[in-house]
């Protein structure tokens, strides 16, 4: 069991080892969201291109892209060393094609590239820091490049109680199926939820609800074109934008 009061504690450091198994259970759209990132990449399977994964975590999205696009090369950036330790282990088969860097995405250098993507990470970034982050992404992208942003965010007017209830039923049914299949235990799920609740209460796991419309406006201001919502499953949303 995780200990939130431990000195030097960090949420993602504590959950890193079980992240891949539990994330896909707690977030029902996650698996499909990752598949969509791969599907949305506007390059041929044998194209050479460089990409950057911002907030790569355990590098599940990066591994999938490297696997599908055999001549692509990656830079993975995350601020949590425990997540990166698992990322490096997972990326061993692709070691000649990937660099893993520890850094804060709000101020790290984003290398020049053809594609930037980020999965389930921007909701940890304060809204005031999004414009400069998106401007740095736009500046890093080469002509013809593209930015794929996958995260939870609101789109359009707020949902009714009925839609929220439907989202909750969808999530709980997904969790129960995973428990029934033996992937996780109820105790593990309850403990993780309690741990996250505690972390939030202590201000150690900070999340923001961004609006898709605001991010799209910011993308356009940064010079990105055709920015739009291209996929959504409840709050999980993918935005796609291009460099001219």
Ligand X SMILES: C[S@@+](CC[C@H](N)C(=O)[O-])C[C@H]1O[C@@H](n2cnc3c(N)ncnc32)[C@H](O)[C@@H]1O
Give the binding site for ligand X (CB under 6 A). Answer: 12, 55-57, 60-61, 78-80, 83, 104-106, 119-121, 124-125
Q: How far is the CB of 23 from ligand X (least distance, A)?
A: 6
d(CA 242, CA 83): 29
Q: How far is the CB of 52 from ligand X (least distance, A)?
A: 12
Nearer to ligand X, 61 or 145 (CB): 61
How crowded is residue 34: how many other Cβ atoms within 10 Å of its Cβ? 19
d(CA 58, CA 100): 11
Nearer to ligand X, 103 or 223 (CB): 103
Q: How far is the CB of 124 from ligand X (least distance, A)?
A: 4
Q: How far is the CB of 218 from ligand X (least distance, A)?
A: 17
Q: Name the 3-class secondary structure at 59.
A: coil
Using alpha carbons, select from 1, 11, 16, 8 the residue that is nearest to residue 207: 11
d(CA 33, CA 239): 11
Residues whose CB is less than 8 angstroms from the CB of residue 196 and which lie 6 or more positions away in sequence, other chains included: 11, 205
Nearer to ligand X, 90 or 220 (CB): 90
How many Å separate Cα 173 from the centre of its chain?
A: 23
Q: How far is the CB of 229 from ligand X (least distance, A)?
A: 18
Nearer to ligand X, 191 or 206 (CB): 206
Nearer to ligand X, 25 or 105 (CB): 105
């Amino acid at each position: 069991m995780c200990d939130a009061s431990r000195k030097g504690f960090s949420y993602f450091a504590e959950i890193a080892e079980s992240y891949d198994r539990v994330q896909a259970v707690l977030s029902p759209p996650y698996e499909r969201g990752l598949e969509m990132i791969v599907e949305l990449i506007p390059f041929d399977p044998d194209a050479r291109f460089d990409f950057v994964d911002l907030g790569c975590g355990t590098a599940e999205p990066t591994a999938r892209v490297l696997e599908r696009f055999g001549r692509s090369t990656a830079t993975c950036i995350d601020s949590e060393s425990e997540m990166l330790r698992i990322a490096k282990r997972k990326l061993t088969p692709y070691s000649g094609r990937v660099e893993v860097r520890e850094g804060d995405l709000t101020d790290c250098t984003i290398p020049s590239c053809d594609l930037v993507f980020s999965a389930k990470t921007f909701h940890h970034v304060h809204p005031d820091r999004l414009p400069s982050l998106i401007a740095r992404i736009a500046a890093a992208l080469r002509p013809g490049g593209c930015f794929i942003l996958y995260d939870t965010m609101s789109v359009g007017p707020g949902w009714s109680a009925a839609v929220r209830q439907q989202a909750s039923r969808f999530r709980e049914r997904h969790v129960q199926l995973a428990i029934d299949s033996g992937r996780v235990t109820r105790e593990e799920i309850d403990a993780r939820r309690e741990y996250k609740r505690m972390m939030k209460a202590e201000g150690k796991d900070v999340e923001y609800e961004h609006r898709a419309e605001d991010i799209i406006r910011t993308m356009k201001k940064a010079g990105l074109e055709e920015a739009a919502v291209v996929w959504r499953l409840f709050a999980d949303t993918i935005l796609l934008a291009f460099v001219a």
